[in-house]
Amino acid sequence: MRKINVVVIYLFLLLVLTYLGTNVSAGDNWYHYEQGIRLINAKSWEQAQKNFDYYLNHPEMHRQMFGVAHLGKGLMFQAMGRYDRAFSEFQMAIENDLHPEVKISDKAYMNIGNIYFKNKAYQDAIQAYLKTIKIDHRNGLAHYYLGMSYLRNGEYEKAEKEAAEAKRLGVPFTALLEELTVRENSKTNVKEPNKNIEKK
């Protein structure tokens, strides 16, 4: 009788652990996301999409990974130059940002900003980078590209402020500061007309 009770308790614990395992840790399976990113780098688009879709096709196990899956698909379409699809996937990533430990909305906004910046839509890029910074104010690259967007948009004081913040946060890029310095030097080096010219 005692042996039966031990077996029943063991089976009950096994059942509970199995249930908890599928509902807690299965959602943290990053294999397909990481594999999808590798496949993007190899330009194996169809295989990359299959890896991201794995999460979406198994909602009972991976609901909390939906935002991550859409982020991966957005990165894939961005790499392919299919920006409309990338925007759509990044928006879905923001709407499905459900992972309890890894938030990805800031990454989606950052990539939206990068697409706008690449296409010289600087005002739209500014808005996307501001949303990134609102979520993660320590994102040095968001400050850097926000500064570049301000510079391209003619908002020089704001660009200087963002350049300083990016530098403070350890961003090693120097183009923003260099362009601001060149602009400042060209303002101060404007030659005045020579007053010593003899009048005839």
Q: What six digits make up the tokens of 40?
A: 């993007």
> Is pLDDT at 146 greater than 80 in this prediction?
yes
To the nearest whole percent, how much of the chain has pLDDT over 90?
76
pLDDT of residue 64: 94
CA distance 100 to 65: 10
The confidence score (pLDDT) of residue 12 equals 42
d(C-alpha 179, C-alpha 184), whole Å: 9
* More confident call, 93 vs 10: 93
The domains of the chain are located at 30-103, 122-188
Mean pLDDT of the residues in the chain = 86
Is 30-103 a domain of CATH 1.25.40? Answer: yes
Q: Are 80 and 45 in contact (CB under 8 A)?
A: yes
Q: Please report, rounded to a whole number, the percentage of residues in the chain having pLDDT higher than 70.
A: 80
> Can you give the pLDDT at residue 29?
86
- For residue 187, name the pLDDT band (cuts at 50, 70, 90): confident
Lookup result for tokens 């991201």: 52
Q: In b/e form, how buried is each residue of 122-139, taking b as 16+ CB within 10 angstroms?
A: bebbbbbbebbbebeeeb
For residue range 81-106, what is the model confidence (pLDDT) as tens digits? Answer: 999 999 999 999 999 999 999 999 99
At 173 the three-state DSSP class reads coil
Instruction: Indicate if the pLDDT at residue 138 is higher than 70.
Output: yes
pTM: 0.79
Query: Under CATH, what is the fold of the domain 122-188?
Result: 1.25.40
Domains 30-103 and 122-188 share a fold: yes
Tokens representing 178 are: 């260099």
pLDDT of residue 19 exceeding 50: no
Instruction: Identify which has the larger pLDDT, 7 or 86.
Output: 86
Torsion of CA 79, 120, 184, 156, to 10 degrees: -110
